[in-house]
Amino acid sequence: MVEQNIRGVIICTTSVGASRGGSTRTDYAMSKHAVLGLVRSASKQLGVYGIRVNCVSPSFVVTPLLNGYEETKKRKKVYEGHDLVVDGGLTKLPDADAFI
């Protein structure tokens, strides 16, 4: 797209697991997080050429197909991790890429 001067959109599919992780399926969460990182970097690199790079992060929807999910969830104590960014606001600066 860059070489041919084509503007457009690249859309990738990842998962809420990219941001949340999970108590199982580490390989799945890791691969989805990699796609999220790719999208974030590619959007910065290709945006100057008029190419938008985005992703969608779907999850499952509680329907009758997930019979018993709510009961299973109630029985498990869930601990969620948090990514605490300690950078003094550096990553929010307009030219943060120069420092990362």
Catalytic residues: 28
Integer Cα distance of 57 and 14 in angstroms = 5
Name the residue among 27, 23, 26, 18 with its Cα closest to residue 58: 18
Q: Bridge-partner residues for 8, per DSSP?
A: 51
